[in-house]
Amino acid sequence: MTFSLAPLGIWTWTLDAQPARKAQEAVAEIESLGFGAVWIPEAVGREPFAHAALLLSGSKSIVVATGIASMYARTAVTMQAGLKTLTEAFPERFLLGIGASHGHMAKALHKSAYEKPYSRMVEYLDTMDGAMFAAAPPTTTPRRMLAALGPKMLQLAAARTEGAHPYFTTPEHTAAARSIMGRGPLLAPEMAVIFERDATKAREIGRKFMATYVRLPNYANNLLRHGFTESDLKNEHGVPSDRLVDAICTWGDLDAMSKRVAEHFDAGADHVCIQVLKDDLTELPSAEWREIATLVPEFASRRAQ
């Protein structure tokens, strides 16, 4: 059975900031709005397998995806066990996004050496595939994807998993990723949006969100590969340039966001997971999710054509 996702999903960290019951209620609403998936991260918040189980238990049909679960946070055997456990309990509703994370996370949080992430990922997938699992097996295929930005990881995602989940990217990256991966593998980029029409205010929110990411080599190197410059990462004021903010963060009205989503689909995306940014990054953007949901029929119809 080929795995697919509805065209639009929600990517959010804000569920971690809520009591579990409120997070479950939020996902139930996201499901009722017609989104195909909700993507949750792993950093220093909830453990993602436990969190996914809570969210799946509080909903009926939506896919819960990790964006991403770090391979440095657990062994490959444990990762495979978690994937199979949730797949058995919630068939075709759990999607495991796996990533190499970042050097500072691996070293500081997980006390692990961060070396040759591509080779380590190949070995990790091999170990997952050969791992013993003596519990009740899932009745459907366990589904996994890779957080992938560069050519080698994108090729690996296409060859060994359902596909790729790029984060902090542009439609131009989506086009390059599709070219590298070929037709077939699932391509599900994250897209950040800001419901603010004032350019100064919108870019201030965007820069707050981007501050950490532009300092991380994985993301910085990817942007440099795709035409941005060191001065875009850090301009004369020591912050990301307007050009980079506007490329990563779509701000303005719903029409502007719809156009950017369409650019991702035209570039080869199968699913776009939208992350709403606000001044308070812990606040549930429920009103904004409801507004974005008005785009669901448009892009569902587009896929059907």
Cβ-Cβ contacts under 8 Å for 61 (sequence gap 6 or more): 31, 93
**Residue 166: which of 92, 239, 267, 294 has the closest Cα?**
267
Per-residue pLDDT at 1 exceeds 60: no
At position 301, the amino acid (one-letter code) is S
Instruction: Identify the burial level of 133 via C-beta atoms within 10 angstroms of its C-beta, where 0-12 means exposed, 13-18 middle and 19 or more buried.
Output: middle
What pLDDT, in 10s, does the model give residues 234-259?
A: 999 999 999 999 999 999 999 999 99
Which residue did the predictor score with more confidence, 83 or 282?
83
Cis peptide before 194 (omega within 30 of 0): no
CATH ID of 8-195+261-304, from 3.90.920.20, 3.40.50.2300, 3.40.50.880, 3.20.20.30:
3.20.20.30
Rounded average pLDDT over 257-268:
98
pLDDT of residue 106: 63
Mean pLDDT of the chain: 95
Are 40 and 52 in contact by the 8 Å Cβ rule? The answer is yes
Could you tell me which of 95, 100, 104 has the C-alpha nearest to residue 56? 95
pLDDT tier at 261 (50, 70, 90 boundaries)? very high
Q: What is the mean pLDDT of residues 78-103?
A: 94
Over 80: is that where the pLDDT of 159 sits?
Answer: yes
Residue 135: partners with Cβ closer than 8 Å, 6 or more residues away: 81, 84, 85, 88
Q: In this predicted model, what pLDDT tens digit does every residue of 190-224 receive, in sequence order? A: 999 999 999 999 999 999 999 999 999 999 999 99
CB burial of residue 226 (10 Å; 0-12, 13-18, 19+) = middle
User: Is the pLDDT confidence value at 156 over 90?
Assistant: yes
Q: What is the pLDDT of residues 7-61, one digit of tens each?
A: 999 999 999 999 999 999 999 999 999 999 999 999 999 999 999 999 999 999 9
Report long-range pairs for 243-246 (Cβ below 8 Å, ≥24 apart): 244/210, 244/214, 245/203, 245/206, 245/207, 245/210, 246/203
What percent of the chain has pLDDT above 90? 91
Domain ranges of the chain: 8-195+261-304, 196-252
Q: What is the pLDDT of residue 107?
A: 63
Q: Token pair for residue 140?
A: 């459907």
In angstroms, the CA 167 to CA 187 distance is 11
Q: What is the pLDDT of residues 62-88, one digit of tens each?
A: 999 999 999 999 999 999 999 999 999
Cα separation, 153 vs 164, in Å, equals: 9
Average pLDDT over residues 81-96: 98
Q: At what angle do helices 117-130 and 76-89 cross, to 10 degrees?
A: 50
Cα Rg for the chain, rounded, in angstroms? 18
pTM reported for the whole predicted model: 0.96
User: Burial, 137: exposed, middle or buried (Cβ in 10 Å; 0-12, 13-18, 19+)?
Assistant: exposed
Helices and strands of the chain, counted as H and E runs: 14, 11
